Structure formats: structure tokens, C-alpha cells
Amino acid sequence: MIEILQWSTLAVCCAAAVARIPSALRGENRSLFYIFLLATLAILLSIDGPYVAIDSVLGGTNITNLILRFIVFAVIFFIGLRSMKAFGAHQYRRWLLGWPGMLVFGVISAVMILFFIMMDSSGSSAGLAGVARRSVRDAHLVEYYGAAGRAYPAYVSLVLLPAIAKAVASRLPVLVRVGALLLGIGGASLTVSLLFPFIPPQWSSLKFIINYGAALCFVLGLAVFWTGRVRATRVAARKSSTAQ
């Protein structure tokens, strides 16, 4: 079940990235292509098989997990940046780009790297499951490391949610509002993921659903905006051609 979710999320993400290639070549909103590309990479690295394969190439020390975390940070940062410009939420700009934003990013990254160094990270396993099983100390470190990894995406989501909620409630075209709603659900899921330590172990599949659900919502939301723009430009082109 979870495998299906993982691979279908990967497929959707990959399809979105491939679909953006022509417009990226034309130079339209290239950053969205990179967002899709990085997101595809992140999802690929979060799945067991590809993770182990790539990590063993990189030395089998689970350094891939750390790379994955920073890829996720990058994806969420760029989505945040584009959304902030798109929704005109300039008053929140400093919370992402200004010194408060940079401080949060720096502290979380430093803490995350520190926990990674402190744990005995040898032996590739996705989600560091193998490392956590090694000793109580490592289990705790993996827990803290994971929490730090979820903190930055949750932080960016919290910064964005007010502007997104405003767009959802607005009188803007339906596709804009649907796209914003999907981004909002994705952001809310990332925020909820901060509560993972409180989820009882028997519901651990809920974690996967929230994580991949958030990724799917972001990708689908961006795809909806894209569809909306393509349609809007097509309608505009048709109008101007009939006007001539």
C-alpha cells in the first residue's frame, strides 16, 4: 500500500518535471521545472530501493539521507519563494529571506548536521530505520534528527499559510483557488508532521500518508496553476485573434 503511494507520487512528480521540459527550454518560469526536478529526486531518494543503491555508491554512511533533507529544504524554500511572490505576501518576505528566515534555516541545518554526526550512521537504510535499531542512543538521535528535518518545511509552510488561505477564500478564478487549496493542504500536512513523535507506533503508516500526501498536494497544486495559466493565455490568444 505504502509502496504504491511512494511510486505513484514519484511517477506524478516525474511526469510533471518531464512535462515542464518544453516550457523550461522556452525559458518560461524555469524555476518551476527545477522545483519539479528536485522534488522528483527527493521522492526517489526517500524510497527504499533507490536510496540503498545510491547510498552504497556514496559510501554507505547514510549521507544520502542528509542530502535528501537539504533537497527537501531547497524544494520547499523555492516553492515558498514563488508562492510568496505569487500571492503578494511581501510582508512575510523577511521571515523567509531576511535574517529571521536565514537564522531559522541556519539553526535547523546546524542542529540537523550535529545530530547526524553524533549518531553511528553506517549501514544504508531508508529513513535511518537500521540506525535507530542499533542502540537507544541512536534511536533518540534519529528521532531528533528527523524532527529537525521536518522543522524547516513546517516553518516555511506556517509562514505561507495565511497568504494561501486568503487566496483560497478570494473571488479569483476557480483554478487559482483550487491550486491554492492544494498548496494549503500540502503546507498544513507539513506542519502537522511536526507532531509525528506523538503518533502511536501502530499508526506509523499515517506518517507516510502525510509525507507523500503533502508532496502530491504540492505537485498537483503547481500543476493546477500551470493548467490555469495555459488556459488563460489560450483564451486571451483566441480573443485577440477574433478581435483582429
Partner 1 sequence: MPLPAKAFQRWLQGIAPEASTADICRISGVKRTTLAQQLVRGKVAESTVVAISRAFNINPVAALATFDAYSDLAGGQLPPTAAELVSQIATMDLLRAVIARSAAAAEGTETARATPPAPQLTPAPHATSVRNWVDAIDDGELRHRVSAATGIAPQNYSAQLSANRLTPELAIATSRAAGTGLTGGLVATGMITESEAGWEPGARQAALDAMSDGELAALAGDRLQALGKTLKRQEQDHEETRTIWENLG
Sign of CA pseudo-dihedral 20, 219, 110, 94: positive
Contact between 214 and partner 1 (CB under 8 A)?
no
Stretch of 65-73, 141-149, 194-202, 218-226 contacting partner 1, by CB under 8 A: 218-226
Contact between 222 and partner 1 (CB under 8 A)?
yes
Q: Least CB distance from residue 171 to partner 1, whole Å?
A: 6
Question: Which of 27, 136, 171, 244 touches partner 1 (CB under 8 A)?
Answer: 171
Contact between 87 and partner 1 (CB under 8 A)?
yes
Contact between 228 and partner 1 (CB under 8 A)?
yes
The residue among 10 and 32 lying less far from partner 1, judged by its C-beta, is: 32
**CA atoms within 13 Å, Cβ hemisphere of 195:** 9
Q: Least CB distance from residue 176 to partner 1, whole Å?
A: 6
Question: Which of 103, 232, 235, 237 touches partner 1 (CB under 8 A)?
Answer: 232
Calculate the alpha carbon distances from 76 to 50, 59, 110, 199 in Å: 22, 27, 18, 24
Read off the C-alpha cell for 16.
510533471
Closest CA to 79 of 215, 176, 211, 178: 215
With vertex at residue 30, the alpha carbon angle to CA 28 and CA 36, rounded to the nearest 5 degrees, is 125
Stretch of 45-53, 118-126, 151-159, 166-174 contacting partner 1, by CB under 8 A: 166-174
Read off the C-alpha cell for 159.
509562514
Distance between CA atoms of residues 212 and 43, nearest Å: 8
Read off the C-alpha cell for 165.
488561505
Contact between 172 and partner 1 (CB under 8 A)?
yes
The residue among 87 and 92 lying less far from partner 1, judged by its C-beta, is: 87
Residues at the contact surface with partner 1, assessed by CB under 8 A: 29, 32, 82-83, 85-88, 167, 170-173, 176, 179, 222, 225-226, 228-230, 232-233
